[in-house]
Each structure stands twice: as C-alpha cells, then as structure tokens.
Amino acid sequence: MKAVHEWTASEMLAAISCGRITVRALIESCLLRISARDDDVRAWLWLNADALAQADRLDALPADQRGRLHGLPLGVKDVFDTIDMPTTHNSSLYQGFRPAADAAAVALVRAEGVVLLGKTDTTEFAAAGRNAATGNPHDLTRTSGGSSAGSAAAVADFHVPVALATQTGGSTIRPAAFCGIYGFKPSAHLISREGVKVYSISFDTVGWMARSVADLQLLAGVYGITERLRAPLPNADLMIGVTAGPHAGALDKEALHALDTAEKRLVAAGHRVKRLELPTAFHALDLQHRTILRREGAQAFRALARTHGTALHDDFHRLVENRDNHALADLNAAYHAIAQGQQMFDEIASGFDLILVPSAPGVAPVGRKPGDPIFNAMWTALGVPCLNLPVSGLRDVSMPVGVTAISMRFDDVALLEAGRRIAPLLISLSSF
C-alpha cells in the first residue's frame, strides 16, 4: 500500500473530501518525507514553518467554505512571489526578500485551499548564473534538470504531489523528464505571470509538475484552462505524429530508444501513428528563440545590472551588454520567423491529436548543470502546449527518460485528455 505522501493530488483530495484523512495528517506525512530526504535531495530553499497550523485551520473550515484544492500540499518554485515566505530567485541579491503580495498564480491556488509547503530551488532567476543545488532523486550525483530543479525533484521524491514551475526554454519539461514525472507547460499567455521573475516577455510560461496527468488536468481547471480549441478528430483511436525533430542528431541512444518504444507501444495499443518530417524552416527556430531570449533578457536584467553592478552574476551583464551581438534587425526577423513557424505548425498539427517529440537529448547528466534545452526551446517559441510523459521499462536504461506530447497552440484541454489516455501505455513494463 502506498504511503500517504505517495498519493497523487487527486487521491489526496478525494481522501480529505470523504474524511478518510485530515489535512494535518497529510501535511505531516509530507513534512516527514521532506525531513527524511531533503538533506540529500536539496529540493527546498525554504520550508513553511506555519504549514501545520494552516492545515489545522483548513481542517476546521466548514465544508461549504472549502476550495477546490482544499488541503493539497504544494511546492512553489522560488521565482514566484509569496507573501508569507522569502522569494530569493536563488540569487544572492534577493536573500531574505519579502514580497508584499503573492504572485497571481500563487494567489489563485491559495484561494482554492492549498498548503504551500515551501519554495523550491531553481537556476538563478530561472535563467542563468547559479545552478540549483538539487540532486536527482534517482541518482543524487546527477542533476534533476533546470531551471525548475527543486519542483521536479520534490514531486518525484514524494515531498509534494504537485509543484509550480516555469519554462522559458525547457525549464519545466526537461526536469520533469530527468526526474520521471509528468510536467506540463501550457500554451503561451494562458496563465498570468504577474509576480513571477521576468526573463523573456514572449516565452516565460507558468507550468506544473505532478505524478499523474489527472493532477495536471486538475490544475488546468483551477487556472481556467477549460475550453476546447477545436472539435475532436473523427476517429475513436488517437492520430499520433512522431518526430525526432530538426535536432535528431543530438539524441543519445536512451532518448532515441524511448521515442521508438513509445511509438511501438502506441501502435500495439491500436492507435494510428505516423512518422513526420518537419519543414526545414524549423531548423532555425532554436536560434531564433535564442536571439529573442537574449534581447528580451537584456531588458529584464537592465535595472538589476544598473543597481547592483558586479554583485549581479556576469551571465546577466552579458545579456544586458548584448555581448553576443544580436542586432535589432535580427530580433525583428526572429519574431517574424517564429510567427511564420506558428502558422506552419498549426497546419501540421491540425491533422493529429498529438505529436510526440523528444524531451531531452538523453538522461540526466552527472553534476548540477540544468541541461540542454535544444529539444524544448522551439516548442516554447511556438507557444504550443507541451506535456512530458515518462517512458519506463526500457532495456538498459536505468535513469528516467520521457517524451513530449505537443499539439496546436491553445489545444491544451484535448492534449491533456489524450496524454492521460496514452500515459499508462508508456510506463508499461513489457520488454518493448
């Protein structure tokens, strides 16, 4: 039988709702797990000392005043402002910084009754500079991925069932893949980022980590992602595209094996699967993403560079000074090219329920570097929804590996539904 802290969010909410467990007992179980594990994992930068008192207050609340996430333990990446805990961005400049309000994305789940267990470690400002100290729960010598390192590890290691993350390049999908959990980056601009550190106006996106797709659907509902973009395709089984994409040459054998295995298992389950070639224009999306990221990043860190001088990590001065020489004309061209890519991708993706692509070049590397975003940045640039699905039971692969399900921009509801259908097929323990 699973320990309480190992339940999914949906299981926890159901158990609280029917009185099988108190919020206090649930929070105690999670805190004990953190206490036993976090000296090694280092997922957390700050723990909420008031969590048990909050649990008691929630337990005392009449049923008709309870929110949709009543009593749910939640981790929050330390780039979200929180009114009751410091927000440090893992930066020496922000140690002890106390925001005057919650980020909008925090306020919304707090109003629904979550218990914030604390703030999770992150690459500095979710951007560059200092790495998170977090280890991968499956092998502590390895990274849990970045920038949402702590949120991924905390969920994978059963400290919390769900956690808030962000993605600007690959900062949600990649750590989810490295840690063997479900991670979701919604379509661009669907969730308020107010009170979240800005890196790129165009690309920063609030995302979530969870141990089931159902839990991601639960969060999508709370955040107002409930509308369908289009009518379902007229087939009972799913129409699934598969492509290694324009950077296939960067995939190692574990990642290739995961994508091939996913394809075989889906075919075996009766879904229609088609291998895709993406247009050659897609090869440049990663570079265009980088041009925009660096120019937008220059604006995001200009004031900190001016006010803190060399106390700010040189990575950010590099951005502000545009040392990589991204010209304004290149920036303009990059915006245009990405807009054209979005139009092309809409046409391609309209023929599929979802498309499977790699989540990362391979398994989590040794060390604490966040890893390469090359398999994520182009999809973030296109603003499409991205769902990491773990692929397990692979021969000769001992670390987690995942594939990303993507779909048309704003097709989030249908993508999560389709992802929920195929997720169990991918964690099959068969020998494919």
Out of 70, 138, 174, 409, the residue judged to bind a second copy by CB under 8 A: 409
* Closer residue to a second copy in complex, CB, 56/194: 194
> Looking at 144, 147, 148, 202, which residue is catalytic?
147
Determine if 162 is a binding residue for a second copy (CB under 8 A). no
Least distance between a second copy and beta carbon 357 (Å): 20
Three-state helix/strand/coil letters over the chain: CCCHHHCCHHHHHHHHHCCCCCHHHHHHHHHHHHHHHHHHHCCEEEECCCHHHHHHHHHCCCHHHCCCCCCCEEEEECCECCCCCCCCCCCHHHCCCCCCCCCHHHHHHHHCCCEEEEEECCCHHHCCCCCCCCEECCEEEEECCCCCHHHHHHHHCCCCCEEEEEECCCCCHHHHHHHCCEEEECCCCCCCCCCECCCCCCCCEEEEEECCHHHHHHHHHHCCCCCCCCCCCCCCCCEEEECCCCCHHHCCHHHHHHHHHHHHHHHHCCCEEEECCCCHHHHHHHHHHHHHHHHHHHHHHHHHHHHHHHHCCHHHHHHHCCCCCCCHHHHHHHHHHHHHHHHHHHHHHCCCCEEEEECCCCCCCECCCCCCCCCCHHHHHHCCCEEEEECCCCCCCCCCCEEEEECCCCCHHHHHHHHHHHHHHHCCCCCC
Out of 298, 355, 399, 406, the residue judged to bind a second copy by CB under 8 A: 298
Which range of residues in 9-17, 36-44, 342-350, 424-432 is near a second copy by CB under 8 A?
342-350
Binding mask 94-133 vs a second copy (x if CB under 8 A, - otherwise)? ---xxxxxx-xx-xx--xx---------------------
Out of 192, 237, 250, 348, the residue judged to bind a second copy by CB under 8 A: 192
Out of 302, 317, 318, 420, the residue judged to bind a second copy by CB under 8 A: 302
Determine if 57 is a binding residue for a second copy (CB under 8 A). no
* Closer residue to a second copy in complex, CB, 16/338: 338
Task: Specify whether 171 is catalytic.
Answer: yes
Which range of residues in 5-13, 246-254, 407-415, 416-424 is near a second copy by CB under 8 A?
407-415
Task: Specify whether 77 is catalytic.
Answer: yes
Which range of residues in 152-160, 174-182, 265-273, 331-339 is near a second copy by CB under 8 A?
331-339
Task: Specify whether 202 is catalytic.
Answer: no
Out of 227, 236, 249, 431, the residue judged to bind a second copy by CB under 8 A: 227
Q: Which residues would be at the binding site for a second copy (CB under 8 A)?
A: 97-102, 104-105, 107-108, 111-112, 189-194, 197-198, 201-202, 223-224, 227-230, 296, 298-300, 302-304, 306-307, 320, 327-329, 331-332, 335-336, 339-340, 342-343, 346, 408-410
